[in-house]
Amino acid sequence: MALPTYKRASTALLFIDPYNDFLSEGGKAWPRVGPIAEEIGLLDNLRAIVAAVRKAGIQVVIAPHRRWEPGDYEDWDHPNPTQIGIMSRHSFARGEWGGEWHPDFVPQPGDVIAKEHWGQSGFANTDLDQQLRQRGITHVILIGLLANTCVESTGRYAMEIGYHVTLVSDATAAYSKEMMHAAHELNGPSYAHAIMTTAELLEAIAATEVDR
């Protein structure tokens, strides 16, 4: 299969939920996500991708989850199971270490930080679509957490509203191999235009004639 073509002016890297609670030892979700993350070399892959897209001049966009605050979800009629868990665990708590960016992925000048999403899609009830369209973005490359929830939901939503979607299978993680399989082997092919490894993505970026 031919590698997709990524042009600087119309491509964005969507980095979903790069919080300490997901990506750092001591994070609330790390005990569950860590084994998969370490097996696939997640952190090194994320570092390599971020470095490559910055070098190519591709737009970096952060799609962050809602940082928990006291009172969140408590008076909601029907919070979903994930939100109930967040209400209990205080995941990504605002003002706490777990809700801060992983130190290797702190946003840089020129990066776009979309409004925080309350559910799983980085697009629903946020300004992500507007931020991308106002910059002429047509292609999005998805990395981050979790493969079978926020990454999948964001990618599927992106496809529905007309974006070209690339999933990077070893630049995201989940709580089990079964969840990874579902995200990349079963569900991903139903909406993603390309599913590739970090090595393949880096090759595609390097081989693409970036229109500067």
Can you give the CATH number for the domain in which 34 is found?
A: 3.40.50.850
Report whether 129 contacts 157 (CB < 8 A): no
143 occurs within a structural domain: yes
- pLDDT score for 54: 97
pLDDT under 70: residue ranges of the chain: 1, 209-212
Q: Where are the beta strands (DSSP E) in the chain?
A: 11-16, 59-63, 112-113, 139-145, 164-173, 194-196
CA distance 21 to 115: 19
212 occurs within a structural domain: no
Q: Which pTM does this prediction carry?
A: 0.95
Which whole-number Å values give the CA distances from 31 to 23, 26, 27, 35, 198, in the listed order?
10, 8, 8, 8, 24
Q: Which of 91, 161, 179, 164 is nearest to 124 (CA)?
A: 161
2 occurs within a structural domain: no
62 occurs within a structural domain: yes
Domains of the chain: total: 1
Tens of pLDDT, residues 158-209: 999 999 999 999 999 999 999 999 999 999 999 999 999 999 999 999 977 4
- The distance in angstroms from the start CA to the end CA of the chain is 26
User: How many angstroms from the chain centroid is the CA of residue 144?
Assistant: 3
Residue 57, domain extent = 8-207
- pLDDT score for 210: 45
72 occurs within a structural domain: yes
Report whether 31 contacts 173 (CB < 8 A): no
104 occurs within a structural domain: yes
Helices (H) and strands (E) in the chain, counts: 8, 6
1 occurs within a structural domain: no
- pLDDT score for 1: 59
